[in-house]
A and B are shown apart, each in its own frame.
Chain A
Amino acid sequence: MQLLPTQDMMRKISESWSFVSGAAFQFKESDHYTFHNHENLMAVILPLFLDNLPQRESIAIGLILDDDEAIKVASHMFGTSPETLSLADIQDAKKETCNILGGGLIVDNNSKLGLPKEIPLEEFLQLQKNATFSMLFVSDKPNEDLVNLVIFDVNIKSSGEFLS
């Protein structure tokens, strides 16, 4: 597996964010998440499978968007006002955002991108707990744009549902 150099990753994430949200800002690497936590906050996770014989390895790309950011993105992508968006529209936009932001970060001809899905934040953090590496990118204006994109490896034994 080959990760892009960090600077290239940050640039790609910024370009992708601009595409999905219409807003341009820079991302930076960070060691802590930026979101307003609440009971129903969901994360989107995108699996990336690597055929690294004899054992199949898996990478996860996670996106945690604060609710306001999720609405902004959905509104931009659907080209409609926030009031007209359904919950399904917002979920769709969040999953596609994770797909676009995360899809271009790993260069590997033997990899296979999975489909993004939404899972409760708690479940997401549990999955990430056993990672041996993790890279988190957040907006360089963390108090205004609460966007978190994280890449980590997934422990095979503890990730039955994720890998299914």
Chain B
Amino acid sequence: MSAMTNGVAKFLIVDDSRAIQSIIKRVIESCNYPNLEIQNANDAEAAIEILEKFTPDLVITDWHMQKVSGLEFCQHVCQTYGNKIPIGFVTTESSTEKINSAYQSGAKFVINKPFQDADLRTQLMRFVPLNGSGGVEKIDSSAMASTVALLSTLLQGQPFTFVPCPPLALEDFSENNLIGLFGINGKTPPVNALAIMEMGAVGVLWGMNNNQQSMILSVIKNGTATNDQLEEATKFMDEFGAGMSIGYKNGPLKLARSSIVSRQFPRLEMSLTTNEGRTDYMLTVPGIGVGYITYIKLI
């Protein structure tokens, strides 16, 4: 994670389309950094020159450009500046092999066009947090490592990112959501914590684990999941919740029960706002889909 220099958030956008530069710039501006400096380059060669005098907190680059490709540029940045300057892609490139090569070259994220502003904002906050030290609640590293290991198995080696993201608003959840209630030794009441998986997350997990990528969209579109899909998501949720509560006084907690709950359910809204701590996560499988999982500590 990059620390802002002198409280100024600095970005370099590299894209041969000024229209896309404008779109990315607007998303950066929407993060409300108190002080902001954005530089643009129309190609990688111009970007390399800029980097000789300007040290951004994050570089956001296109892939397909004249002369030097975004991938070659990424390799240059990672070899020259190491972790000092993180770099990510906003691209139409969706080939799994090529996206893998971007990660292998040191890219921190790959976002496919068209994208949701929230997806880019999440990456901006991840690498250039507003307060300079992380925009979300501090997360136990062993809890995170346990979830990432679990996801690696479920996603069968497919590259993915699982990162904390800004809290979702009620309207960001799907119409129906899988909710799990956690208690000591799997017993409730009292409910010590709850986890919410919106349908994007349910679809991505099930589709990747069962090699049924084409079904992911139908889960998201229909807003409902089959019993098989829910069963698998529930198994993940059990381990996820246990992992997330590793540092708890009475942890790790166990899943007591799960059910599908409508976004309109009043207690859902209440839990999102009245709790003892909450972290939202974005799961991204490049070229496949995005899902969100929220973990809420109640006691």
Contact = CB atoms under 8 A, between A and B. Distances in A.
Interface of A: 8, 11, 15-16, 18-20, 74, 77-79, 89, 92-93, 95-96, 99-100, 103-104, 107-109, 111, 113-115
Closest 6 CB pairs of A and B: A103-B92, A19-B114, A77-B19, A96-B17, A93-B19, A109-B97
A29 B115 CA distance: 24
A131 B217 CA distance: 32
Judged by DSSP, the binding face of A is helix
B95 A109 contact: yes
A134 B113 CA distance: 24
Contacts of A104: 92, 94, 112
A89 B19 contact: yes
B66 A20 contact: no
Contact of B22 (A8, A79, A100, A114): A79
B232 interface: no
A11 B95 CA distance: 19
B175 interface: no
A11 B17 CA distance: 24
Contacts of B239: none
A16 B94 contact: no
B217 to A, nearest CB: 7
Interface in B59-92: 64-66, 92
Given A78-B19, A92-B18, A115 B66 contact: yes
B93 A113 contact: yes
Contacts, number: 63
A115 B64 contact: yes
B114 to A, nearest CB: 3
B217 A96 contact: no
A75 B68 CA distance: 29
Contacts of A109: 95-98
A42 to B, nearest CB: 16
Contacts of A79: 22-23, 26
Given A11-B217, A114-B64, 12 more contacts: A8-B214, A89-B18, A92-B19, A99-B64, A99-B92, A99-B113, A100-B113, A103-B113, A104-B112, A109-B95, A113-B93, A115-B64
B96 A113 contact: no
Nearest to A5: B214
A109 B16 CA distance: 23
Contacts of B65: 115
Contacts of B272: none
B20 interface: yes
A127 B33 CA distance: 49
A20 B113 CA distance: 10
B17 A108 contact: no
Interface in B110-133: 112-115
Nearest to A74: B19
A93 B21 CA distance: 11
Nearest to A11: B217
A14 to B, nearest CB: 10
Given A19-B113, A109-B95, A109-B96, A77 B64 contact: no
Interface string B8-48: 00000000111110110010000000000000000000000
A100 B114 contact: yes
A11 B214 CA distance: 13
Contacts of B18: 78, 89, 92
A97 B243 CA distance: 43
